[in-house]
Amino acid sequence: MKNQKLLLKKMSGVSLMLLLFLFISNCASGDKIFSTDVWNITYDDQQGGIALTYKSKNICNGMYASYQWEGKEIKTSDYARHKISTGKVSDSFGKGHIYKVEYTDKELPKLTQYFYLYPGKEYILTDFTVEAKEEIRSGRMAPVNVDSISGFLQAGDNRALFVPFDNDKWIRYQSHPLGFDTLVSYEVTAIFNNESRNGLVIGSVEHDNWKTAVSIGKGMNDNIGSLVCFGGIADEQTRDVKAHGALAGKKIKSPKVFLGFFEDWCDGLEAYAKANAVIAPPKAWEKAVPFGWNSWGALQFNLTYEKAMEVSDYFKENLQNNHFVNPDQTVYIGLDSGWDCMNEEQLKSFIAKCKSNGQVGGIYWTPFTDWARDPERTVDAAPEYKYKDIYLYANGKPQELDGAYAIDPTHPAVEAMMKKTSSLFHRTGFEYVKMDFMTHGAMEADKWYLPEVTTGIQGYNYGMQLLDKYFGDMYINLSISPVFPAQYAQSRRIACDAWNKIKDTEYTLNALSYGWWQKYIYQFNDADHIVLRDATDGENRARITSGVITGIYIGGDDFSAAGGKDGKEKALKYLTNPDINALATGEVFRPVEGNGAQSEQIFVRKEKDGTFHCALFNYSEQEQTVTLSLDRIGLEQTRSYQVKELWSGSRTTAKNKIEVTIPAKDVKVLEFN
């Protein structure tokens, strides 16, 4: 097929980054130890594994690689012989060094373990390959295994972070106190001391073939016990009912894993995200962060052509001239599910209205789903097929998620649907598209249309490459979707659906608390539509602030002529605050603490001009008074600051600390100068 090349360039990190190896020496005793300015890597003969030291801090001993082969787990310690060599590497991360261990055994495929070290980096990268003369298969490859870890954290409030695979079903991030029996986090985790902020960050930086997880076992003295980072996770959290597919070939490769120790775990997660962005750069966007509206917030399936036109006019007449406009002086008016109530001429007319009002039109699609769940239905864009031909089957049954059947992203009917749908969107003039329920395309399956595809993430990448081919000139916002791979869209919903109450704000901010770093793999995070009707003034302020400090800024009330006055009055009152709206640059706020029971309450951002902003939320039913240490939030302890609260305009001064009273279900936003 003409598009097989999209997948079959298989984006292995090695081939993408054009690694240049120059191995210097072989197995002399001195080669067992290699040091950079901050890292020391040693092959430990006694434990048969790798010891890592960061700035004299022992991170682990006895680290080994493992893989599944012919129903058994094969470890590097199972091999009879090993050979060590060191050399230089030049790749997208810069010039560095490589530490290579080759394992051989007459009964086993050859295993080659790589460690990549770069001057000044607080992290290393590691992966491995397995190769043989005959084809080998593996559905699980683990570059990092440590059976027992000595304590690398000081005593105190030690925690490990749960990161979900996607944002479906109102899943939550969670900062867990150590002491659990086992914790599985998806793609990445941070293990940190909340008082000192020191922490270890480990996760995958390649997302071409594998769904990756980090498994943490119980330890002693407030530290973890075991640590495994492996490609091959498939469970309820990845929305799978079938085991992870296997890679096959004469040479197969694990995911590349990032491992680093940081003075501040927040810096570590940002470094992790930026490392991902080196390998798969974020989808470009040269324009300002989207401000606008989405129809699903209030109208949902009550959307009509007439109402869409009225909403466009409402924004032009009431909000765009009153500070609700992005730095490009643009507003995005988005039609969500239900837009198909309009014919093509009405869609064209809607876009003409948007353009005349200084707006960009947005629309919605779910490329990997069949909501009808009708196997005998003909695929409109490819009438030679029925839907039963294009489902992703698991154990012989169509896979259902969220009320829709998953379809195979590699099937030619999917490309036909993309071609037809993108043609309609382009003909009618849409420039922004919200893509929803993307996880369906990443599910493990019995098989795919393309036999070369053997894992859910391979299938998803293939489908997303097609998406980029047909929709790549549009702004793409992912809604329900995996965190990774991230390079196909400018923005992504940071959590599941959220509306108008304080619980919606708290839920959204749970994801910002522990997932803010995704700003570095997407241009913007998305806090979902901001609905104001039927909520208190404090809830309105809190919900707007949650969107502003997260990323894109999208209203959701019914602003049509028949829409209720409550939402309109609140929009005029709260969506037009110039100080708050000026914060909506798309740059993310990050948490001060990492030990919230559900969501953090304090978020900060330092501006390029030196101005400092702090948002303090109160999710409770009672007024709260918080004493902020200026040093803890990132300001100079001894300096005196002028402080303005941006919702009320009130002013005060602060030195060393500041006491802030937050009403029930409300927020305060402080600006320090």
pLDDT level of residue 28 (50, 70, 90 thresholds): very low
525-550 burial code (b ≥16 CB/10 A, e <16): bbbbbbbbbebeebbbbbbbbbbbbb
- Computed over every residue of the chain, the mean pLDDT equals 94
* Residue 223 vs residues 151, 192, 197, 219, 441: alpha-carbon distances, Å: 5, 9, 14, 5, 38
| Triad 556, 557, 563: Cα angle to 5° | 150
* Residue 333 vs residues 227, 302, 536, 554: alpha-carbon distances, Å: 47, 16, 25, 9
Type of residue found at 61: N
pLDDT level of residue 655 (50, 70, 90 thresholds): very high
List alpha helices for 528-598, DSSP H.
Answer: 537-550, 565-574, 578-582
Sign of the alpha-carbon torsion through 317, 319, 320, 321: positive
Mean pLDDT in residue range 114-128: 96
How far apart (Å, rounded) are the C-alpha atoms in residues 183 and 159? Answer: 11
Whether the predicted pLDDT of 9 surpasses 80: no
- pLDDT value at residue 31: 63
Q: Considering the entire predicted model, what is its pTM? A: 0.95
* Backbone torsions φ then ψ of 473, nearest 5 degrees: -85, 0
Could you list the beta-strand ranges (E) of 358-471.
359-365, 369-370, 393-394, 397-398, 400-401, 404-406, 432-435
How far apart (Å, rounded) are the C-alpha atoms in residues 207 and 655? Answer: 46
- pLDDT value at residue 443: 98
Candidate from 1-15, 256-270, 319-333, 431-445 with smallest mean pLDDT: 1-15
Identify any residues that bridge with 391 across adjacent strands, giving them in sequence order. Answer: 407
pLDDT level of residue 48 (50, 70, 90 thresholds): confident
Which stretch of DSSP H or E encloses residue 212? Answer: strand 212-218
Question: What is the radius of gyration, based on Cα positions, of the chain?
Answer: 26
Mean pLDDT in residue range 575-593: 98
Candidate from 196-200, 595-599, 662-666 with smallest mean pLDDT: 595-599
How far apart (Å, rounded) are the C-alpha atoms in residues 450 and 571? Answer: 50
Whether the predicted pLDDT of 49 surpasses 70: yes
Per-residue model confidence as pLDDT tens digits over 30-39: 468 999 999 9
Whether the predicted pLDDT of 27 surpasses 50: no
Q: Whose structure tokens read 């030049």?
A: 90
Identify any residues that bridge with 23 across adjacent strands, giving them in sequence order. Answer: 87
Whether the predicted pLDDT of 312 surpasses 90: yes
pLDDT level of residue 284 (50, 70, 90 thresholds): very high
**Closest Cα to residue 346, out of 374, 307, 294?**
307
More confident residue, 4 or 486: 486
Whether the predicted pLDDT of 21 surpasses 60: no
- pLDDT value at residue 357: 98
pLDDT level of residue 485 (50, 70, 90 thresholds): very high
Sign of the alpha-carbon torsion through 398, 401, 405, 409: negative
* Backbone torsions φ then ψ of 229, nearest 5 degrees: -120, 120
* Residue 190 vs residues 57, 187, 224, 264: alpha-carbon distances, Å: 17, 11, 12, 10
How far apart (Å, rounded) are the C-alpha atoms in residues 270 and 264? Answer: 10
Per-residue model confidence as pLDDT tens digits over 557-568: 999 999 999 999
Q: Whose structure tokens read 């799978």?
A: 240
* Backbone torsions φ then ψ of 273, nearest 5 degrees: -60, -45
How far apart (Å, rounded) are the C-alpha atoms in residues 110 and 128? Answer: 10
3-state helix, strand, coil in the chain (%, to 5): 25, 35, 40
Q: Name the region of 639 (left: φ>0; alpha: ψ -120 to 50; beta: rest).
A: beta
How far apart (Å, rounded) are the C-alpha atoms in residues 98 and 178? Answer: 33
How far apart (Å, rounded) are the C-alpha atoms in residues 543 and 529? Answer: 10
- pLDDT value at residue 220: 82
Identify any residues that bridge with 435 across adjacent strands, giving them in sequence order. Answer: 365, 478
**Closest Cα to residue 319, out of 88, 119, 554?**
554
